[in-house]
Structure 1
Amino acid sequence: MMRTEEIVAMALERLDNDRYVLSNLLFARIKELGAGATPLVNMEVSKHKLADIAMREIAEGKITFDGVEPLPTNA
């Protein structure tokens, strides 16, 4: 079993070490899991914290961040 620090390091590496993006992606995924989304890793919601599940999903590349969409302009 991997240590929490190793999982966080893997997740950060996948996101170019951007802690801001990691925290936002993590929060969004925790909301989805809390609303009943099925985990994308082999971890049960009843046995693990949602944050741990979401972090593992990001670390394993199951959840990705492709960038920010530009806001529409009023042309």
Structure 2
Amino acid sequence: MKWQPGAATLNQDGKEKQYSSLDELVAQAIGTPIPVRALFAWLRGEPQAVEGWQTDLSALGNGRLTAQRLQPLPTAELRLVFE
């Protein structure tokens, strides 16, 4: 995966797919949009409010991050575990 302003590329199963943004690439890859810019902040341990999302950074020191999208429906849950 590569990205820059205005373009993102995903190499998967030997095929390359082009997208207009990292947000679009992520939404297509996982099936739902997530706040990518906020995700990078959350990974740095920085709380960043995103409308409709609730995050739990309390276990980040143990390699875990949880975020839930409550609105708009359908809800979604993002769980990251780092080793």
Same fold (TM over 0.5): no
Q: Which has the higher contact order (CA 8 A, sep 6+)?
A: 1
Bigger fraction of residues in strand: 2
TM-score (normalised: structure 1): 0.26
TM-score (normalised: structure 2): 0.24
Bigger fraction of residues in helix: 1
